[in-house]
Amino acid sequence: MKFSTPIHTLTLVAVYLFSSTIANAATLEKRDDGDEGIPTINDVQNPVCKPWVAIRDAIMGDIFHGRCNDLARSAIRMSFHDAGTFSLSLEAAGKTNGGADGSLIADPNEINRDENNGMQAIVEALRPLPQKFNVSAGDVLHLAGTLAVLACPGGPVVNTYVGRPPFKNVNPTGMIPDTHDPIPKIVDRFNDMGISVREAMALIGSHTCGKQQFVDPAFANDTFDTTPEIWDIRFYGETQRNDSDPNVFRLPSDLGFSHNSLTQKDYSRFVGSLSTQEDWAREYAKAHEKMSLLGQDADSLTECTEIMPPSIHLRDITTTHSGGAVDPPVDPAKLEAAIQQTRSIWLQ
């Protein structure tokens, strides 16, 4: 892979300043520059990545408004439904294959499949961007996915690549697991994508920011954990315990992962406290990076992670007085201060 200069010195300084001040963010005046840690076009070293600053802003600003909104949730799911159609066995047989190629936004019909219901709005919003910026649909779609993870506070920086060619064909059908599928069938499908159980159990934690509309329409917009605006590990523990919380919905597949002998061990690694949160964020980031490259020749791509804004670390924004809780909740005032500080140029 053509690795770019990792991170510009200015960005490092800004990230350092951010992490050292954020603990007191709620009491600090908002700084004048207001865009702390967000790399500008001048910060970006690799010329291939410079044009991506404008595309980043079109997605993070115009579409997500710098926040974990419904379009951001949808974008995370969309990156799975685009990439997760990849199949090692179809590839070995020389058959038409899927992959992280953007066909979900470039093709007019894929979005109409039942399994893609709910992603119409994000697909519509992203569809004009490849032509507008003269880049591939795959790059736009997967940048939207990695930016969406950051838009949800707590979400890690996922290494982000550009240079995917135009999509070759529409995705084969029947490749995205259904929530009612037996766990062994889902595990086989992930293996056929080249995704291990451990990686799949890290990826499934993105349901931390999810909502459902179509599994049971009677409970439309119920969330998958009690903190759908925050990228935390609460999803794992709450689902495994099958807590009964108002307006929280448990997907059959998530309940299954938390108990089935094939998945329970890897699932349970992420049930825990704030220290587990950082482990999960790291493993999630590696697994999402791999997902975003399925079916692509990674050596021909360029890494543009240097355009990404910094992550908001939950350990810096929890309530000081946790009442003895193992996992103190996020303090809403500190959360908002962190968002204002690191997402300022996109907020509306």
Chain residues that interact with ligand HEM, rule: CB under 6 A:
73-74, 76-77, 80, 118, 177, 179, 186, 203-204, 206-207, 209-215, 251, 253
Q: Which does 221 bind (CB under 5 to 8 A by kind): ligand NAG, ligand HEM, none?
A: ligand NAG
Smallest separation (angstroms) from ligand NAG to the CB of 30: 29
Which tokens is 221 given? 């917009």
- Nearer Cβ to ligand NAG, position 244 or 320? 244
Helix (H) or strand (E) holding 222: strand 222-223
Which position among 81, 142, 288, 313 bears the catalytic label? 81
Q: Which does 77 bind (CB under 5 to 8 A by kind): ligand NAG, ligand HEM, none?
A: ligand HEM
- Nearer Cβ to ligand HEM, position 68 or 314? 68
Smallest separation (angstroms) from ligand HEM to the CB of 210: 3
Helix residue spans in 2-136 (DSSP H): 9-21, 52-57, 70-83, 88-92, 103-106, 120-126, 129-133
Q: Which does 237 bind (CB under 5 to 8 A by kind): ligand HEM, ligand NAG, none?
A: none
Q: What is the largest CA-CA distance in the chain?
A: 60
Smallest separation (angstroms) from ligand NAG to the CB of 182: 14
From CA 72, how far away is CA 91, in angstroms rounded?
31
CA count, 13 A, side-chain hemisphere, 309: 34
Which DSSP state fits 302? E
Q: Catalytic: 288?
A: no
Smallest separation (angstroms) from ligand HEM to the CB of 287: 8
From CA 237, how far away is CA 271, in angstroms rounded?
5
The beta-strand segments (E) located in 199-298 are 211-212, 222-223
Contacts of 77 (CB under 8 A, 6+ apart): 118, 119, 206, 210
List the binding residues: 82, 101, 103, 207-208, 225, 227, 232
- Nearer Cβ to ligand NAG, position 70 or 297? 70
Smallest separation (angstroms) from ligand HEM to the CB of 65: 16
Q: Which does 253 bind (CB under 5 to 8 A by kind): ligand NAG, ligand HEM, none?
A: ligand HEM
Helix (H) or strand (E) holding 94: none
From CA 287, how far away is CA 306, in angstroms rounded?
19
List the binding residues for Ca(2+): 82, 101, 103, 208, 225, 227, 232
- Nearer Cβ to ligand NAG, position 20 or 221? 221
Beta carbons of 126 and 144 less than 8 angstroms apart: yes
Which tokens is 40 given? 């500008």
Beta carbons of 107 and 137 less than 8 angstroms apart: no
Which tokens is 172 given? 């084969």
Q: Which does 214 bind (CB under 5 to 8 A by kind): ligand NAG, ligand HEM, none?
A: ligand HEM
- Nearer Cβ to ligand HEM, position 118 or 328? 118
Which positions lie near ligand NAG, rule CB under 6 A? Answer: 70, 134, 213, 220-221, 242, 244, 255
Annotated catalytic sites, by residue?
Answer: 81
